[in-house]
Chain A
Amino acid sequence: MSDSPLHEGLIGRLSGELQPVRRLPAPWKRTALWLAAVLLLAAPLAWAADLHALAARLLSVPDMWLSQAGAALTAILGAWAAFHTSVPGRSARWAWLPVLPALVWVGASTAGCLRLSPIPGTVPEPPMHAMECMKFLLLISVPLVSLLTWGLMRACPLRPGLTAVLAGLASAGAASCLLTLIHPFDATADDLLVHLVAVLLVVGITRAAATRIIAPLRPSPVSLRGHQK
């Protein structure tokens, strides 16, 4: 049973420590801030990229624009879901939000590999270049994940593992979109495999590294000894 005198001490200490707190902005505002940071990262890449050729490439076949739209929506909805699940009381069902765009992203990329007609004016990615893509995806994900983690640290994710996976997925989607700016190649199975491995690495590393960072606090050792036979 609850023991009021026991809790009075803690309540007194916590209320004595209280300082005015800045209310956490709504998840959509935090998502917008993160997307603004992604756009800042995209700016130098867009400046270096041939945007006309990129637009022609994306619009030439449906799988290209579908996979990019899927990746972009995975980034946006993944970040939004991560910020939602970081707030106590919000449903874990928010985690389903980026699933459909992620499936579209993977499905359209796979369809691109199966497509028989190449995109005019493009060549398949040289085999060794795929590792460069892997490096780019992993490196560009570092600031993206770090920014998301920093944004999530102010919240109180009660399911830090789930929130970290969503953050990793959002970062991987954004990294893939940024890569497209400087990736003038047609889809190949090797390329898809490397991208998939990079995405899984980003999600896995974020899950492992960010979970502890964003966890609200380590619960005190609860003495349930004696309740287990």
Chain B
Amino acid sequence: MNEATPIPTDDRKLAELMQAAQAGDRAAYQLALRACVPIAAATARRTGVPADAVDDVIQDVLLTVHRALPTYDPARPVQPWLRAITVRRSIDALRRSGRRGAREVHDPDAYENHPEERPDVFEAASRQGDAGRLHAAIATLPPRQREAIEIIGLREQSLEQASQATGSSKVALKVNFFRALKSLRARLGNDGDV
């Protein structure tokens, strides 16, 4: 059997292929999985999965079929077995999307255009011509935090570059950078500037 072999549409032929797949016949398995795709797609659509999410559900179905192969009983038809897997995977997908929809709004433009609620400490200090105060505040930071804020915040290097320059991990740099920002906000913010 190769790619030119027609995809079986009747359950009996599909059952034979699944039985051969259980015995380790890879060509039969490939054909059986191809035959599963349109059945899973139709079932997913009937379950209410949005058209452009059907492919994601099919991928989950194929993975589950692979995992569930030992549970297929050749004495029974394939399609109810496959439909049960597809319906469950469709419901899982709809639940996930429902949970995500309840918590998140997918709007990349709004995200990009959203103004900062609090001006960052560097802008706040420079706007007031108060670079001296910022540098004084930075000087009081612990060495690792000072290093992170100078390299990432002032010299505007990437985490990758900063990691190479300091020998610290990116995670450590990120942690020190955010801790430093918090300290600076607290110190400069005490005067009502930030």
Q: Please indicate the chain B residues that have their CB under 8 angstroms from the CB of A14 in the complex.
A: 29, 33, 62-63, 66
**A interface, by DSSP: helix, strand, loop or mixed?**
loop
CB distance from B68 to the nearest CB of A (A): 4
CB distance from A11 to the nearest CB of B (A): 4
Are B71 and A222 in contact (CB-based, < 8 A)?
no
Are A216 and B24 in contact (CB-based, < 8 A)?
no
Are B68 and A18 in contact (CB-based, < 8 A)?
no
Are A18 and B56 in contact (CB-based, < 8 A)?
no
Are B85 and A222 in contact (CB-based, < 8 A)?
no
Interface size on A, residues (CB 8 A): 44
Are B53 and A224 in contact (CB-based, < 8 A)?
yes
Among residues of B, the one whose C-beta sits closest to the C-beta of A21 is B70
Among residues of A, the one whose C-beta sits closest to the C-beta of B53 is A224
* The residue from A1, A216, A220, A228 contacting B41, defined by CB atoms under 8 A apart: A1
A29 within 8 A of B: no
Are B71 and A15 in contact (CB-based, < 8 A)?
no
Q: Please indicate the chain B residues that have their CB under 8 angstroms from the CB of A20 in the complex.
A: 22-24
Q: Please indicate the chain A residues that have their CB under 8 angstroms from the CB of B56 in the complex.
A: 220, 222-224
B92 within 8 A of A: yes
Are B96 and A88 in contact (CB-based, < 8 A)?
no
Are B96 and A224 in contact (CB-based, < 8 A)?
yes
Are B73 and A23 in contact (CB-based, < 8 A)?
yes
A159 within 8 A of B: yes
Which residues of B21-79 are within 8 A (CB) of A?
21-27, 29-30, 33-34, 37-38, 40-41, 50-60, 62-64, 66-74, 76
Q: Which residues of A contact B (CB under 8 A)?
A: 1-4, 6-7, 10-12, 14-24, 26, 86-90, 154-156, 158-159, 216-217, 219-229
